[in-house]
Amino acid sequence: MTADLHRQRLLNFLDVYYAGDIEGSLARCTDDVAFVANAPVDLLPHMGHRRGTAAMREMWTTVRARYSEMRCEVPILVAEGDRVAANIRVFFRKRSNQRMVQFDIAAFYTFRDGRIAQIREIIDTFDMVEQVLERDVSAILRGERLVEI
């Protein structure tokens, strides 16, 4: 029964977050919420490790400043006890040129006292970086001519 409740809490959180309500999202997290996403922080400085609502607010504000539209699809959601795992397909529209970036996230949430205490995201950052930079990084690494994608 707890797992079903956390499953619904996560879906509610995602609805609020992708609607752009940062404060509503933070209200669904513990004060000491921990966030981890392994990513090249030189290119994606808003990613990496964060702890606490102030750090999360700063990160989510940065994301909202870069993208004018955000939405997601959740094809897989599994809950067990206080943990929920989700396969999330995200769609972000870049403010700079209106180009849509889309990628998958494997996200793992831990709940404490009905709120999210930990978020761990695993992302194909290579694909994400190529889309954000709009460059074929594979070609660059192979020494080929720079090609915009």
Tens of pLDDT, residue by residue over 10-53, are 999 999 999 999 999 999 999 999 999 987 777 777 788 999 99
Q: What is the pTM of this model?
A: 0.86
- Exposed, middle or buried by CB within 10 Å (0-12, 13-18, 19+), for 97? exposed
For residue 86, CA distances in Å to 27, 119, 125 come to 20, 11, 17
In this predicted structure, what is the pLDDT of residue 29? 98
Above 60 in pLDDT, residue 137?
yes
What is the mean predicted confidence (pLDDT) over 128-144? 74
Kind plus residue range of the DSSP H or E element containing 65:
helix 53-66
Question: Which of the four pLDDT bands, split at 50, 70 and 90, describes residue 81?
Answer: very high
Above 80 in pLDDT, residue 68?
yes
In sequence order, the 6+-apart residues with CB closer than 8 A to the CB of 96 are: 66
